[in-house]
């Protein structure tokens, strides 16, 4: 998977640094791509945002779709 590079203005980097320092941990920003999750950017503690990848191939051992 290729790495993704994100750039930010100096004032934005300082705001992110302040936010991380005040929370005592790195933060993660998420911008939803769909309307059901909302389109407002959200900020999470770096270890609290869970990404779940679901399979769309049938699980033939149990006859289920998804994993």
**pLDDT confidence of residue 45:** 86
DSSP letters of 37-62? T-SS-EEEETTT--------SEETTT
Domain residue ranges in the chain = 10-65
- How does pLDDT run across 22-51, given as a tens digit for each residue? 988 888 888 777 666 667 788 888 888 777
Average pLDDT, the chain: 76
CA 21 – CA 37 distance, rounded (Å) = 28
Encoded tokens for 43 = 């900020």
């Amino acid at each position: 998977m290729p790495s993704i590079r994100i750039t930010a203005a100096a004032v934005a980097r300082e705001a992110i640094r302040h936010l991380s320092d005040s929370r005592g941990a790195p933060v993660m920003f998420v911008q939803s791509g769909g309307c059901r999750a909302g389109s407002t950017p959200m900020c999470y503690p770096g270890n609290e945002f869970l990404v779940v990848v679901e399979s769309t191939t049938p699980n033939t051992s149990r006859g289920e779709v998804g994993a």
